[in-house]
Amino acid sequence: MNKPQFIVHDSVDSVGVAVQEIKAGETAEGWIMSDDSTITIVAKNDIPLGHKIALKDVSVGESVIKYDVPIGKVVAPITKGDHVHIHNLKTARW
C-alpha cells in the first residue's frame, strides 16, 4: 500500500481520519492500526485533512465509534464514504 489517505485506529471503528485531503468520488486507501490491515472506500464528499470518513452506514440515534469508543450520536443519516462532522454527528462531550 502507498501512503494511507486515512487512518482507522481500531477494527471496530465506524470512522477513519483523513491524513490528507480526499476528493469526492476518489477511492481512498486506509490503514487499520489495530490489525495492520488496509481498507478502501469511495468518498462520497470531499473529506478535509483531519476530518472523518464513514467506514459503514450509521443510522440516526446510533453511536459513531472511534478508538473503539463511542464519540457521538448520529443526527443525520451517514452512509459509507460520507464526510462525518458536525452536520451529521453530535459530540458525546456535551
Name all domains of the chain by residue range, CATH numbers in brackets.
6-91 (2.30.130.110)
Alpha carbon distance 82, 94 (integer Å): 23
92 pLDDT exceeds 90?
A: no
Alpha carbon distance 74, 91 (integer Å): 9
Considering the entire predicted model, what is its pTM? Answer: 0.93
How is residue 75 written as a grid cell? 443526527
Condensed to tens digits (0 to 9), the pLDDT of residues 4-55 reads 999 999 999 999 999 999 999 999 999 999 999 999 999 999 999 999 999 9
How much is the pLDDT for 1?
Answer: 62
Residues 59-81 as b/e (b if ≥16 CB within 10 A, e otherwise) read: eeeeebbbeeeebbebeeebeeb
* Amino acid letter, residue 85: H
How much is the pLDDT for 2?
Answer: 81
Q: Please give the average per-residue pLDDT across 50-71, as a whole number.
A: 96
